[in-house]
Amino acid sequence: MPLNIDWQQILLHLLNFVILFAGLWLLLYKPVRNFMQKRNEEYENRDSEAERKQKEASELRAQYEQKLADADAEIEAKRADVRKELDDYAARRKNAAQEEADGILARARENAAREKEKSVRDARREISELAAEATEKLALRESASEAFDQFLDAAEAQEKESKAQEKTGGNE
C-alpha cells in the first residue's frame, strides 16, 4: 500500500481508540457529567423552590392586604351602622321625651281647666251662699245700707280669693 498504509495496523489503532473511548466514557466522562448534572438539578430545584416560596409569600401578602382592606371596610361599615343606630336611638328618645312632655303639658292643662272650673263653681256657690246669708242678716238685724256694704265687702273678698286660686292653678 502507498504511504505504508496497513489495514492491520489501522484495525489495531481502532481497537486502541475504542478501548480508550469506552474507558474514558465509563471512568471519567460519565461520572463527572452526572455529578455536574446532579448539581445543576439541585441548583435548579433550589431556584424553583425559592421562586415558588416567593410566589407563595407574595400571594399571602396580597391575601393579607386584601383582608386588611376588607377589615377596614367592615370596621367602617360597622361604625356607620352604630352611628345610625345611635342616631335612631337618640331620635327615638327625643321623640319619646317630646311625647311625654306633651302628655304632661296636656294633662296639666286639663287639670288646670278642671281646677278652674271647680273653683269658679265653688266661688259661685259660695257667693250665692254669702248672698243668701247677707240677705238673711240684712233682713233680720241691720239696716239696708250696712247690709249692702257688708255684702259688697264679702263679694270683693270672695273675688280676690277666686283670682288667687285661678293664678295658682295656671302655674301648675
Partner 1 sequence: MSKKQKIIFWSVVPAIIVLLIVGIILTNGLYEREASIQETMQDAILHEGDRISLFGLPVNPGLISAYLVTGAILLFAAIVRIFVIPKFKRIPGKFQLVLEQAVGFFDGMARSNSPHRNNTLGAYIFAAGVYIFFGTLFELVGIPWQTANGTSVTLPAPLSDINGAIALGCLSYAFILVGGIRANKGRGLLGTLKEFSLPISMSFRLFGALLSGMLVTELVYYYLALSFVLPVVVGVLFTLLHALVQAYVLAMLTALIYGEVTEPHVKKQRVRTRKKKTKSPTEVKI
Size of the chain, expressed as the number of residues it contains: 172
Residue 14 to residue 16: CA distance in whole angstroms: 5
Nearer to partner 1, 32 or 106 (CB): 32
Cell numbers representing residue 157 in the block: 273678698
Whether 141 and 121 have beta carbons less than 8 Å apart is answered as no
> According to the binding rule CB under 8 A, does residue 145 interact with partner 1?
no
Q: Measured from the CB of residue 41, what is the shortest distance to partner 1 in angstroms? A: 12
Helices of type H across 6-143: 7-24, 30-140
> According to the binding rule CB under 8 A, does residue 39 interact with partner 1?
yes
Nearer to partner 1, 17 or 64 (CB): 17
Nearer to partner 1, 25 or 64 (CB): 25
> According to the binding rule CB under 8 A, does residue 16 interact with partner 1?
yes
The binder of partner 1 chosen from 14, 82, 139, 152 (CB under 8 A): 14
Cell numbers representing residue 125 in the block: 256657690
List interacting residues with partner 1 (CB under 8 A). Answer: 3-6, 8-14, 16-21, 23-25, 27-33, 35-36, 39, 42
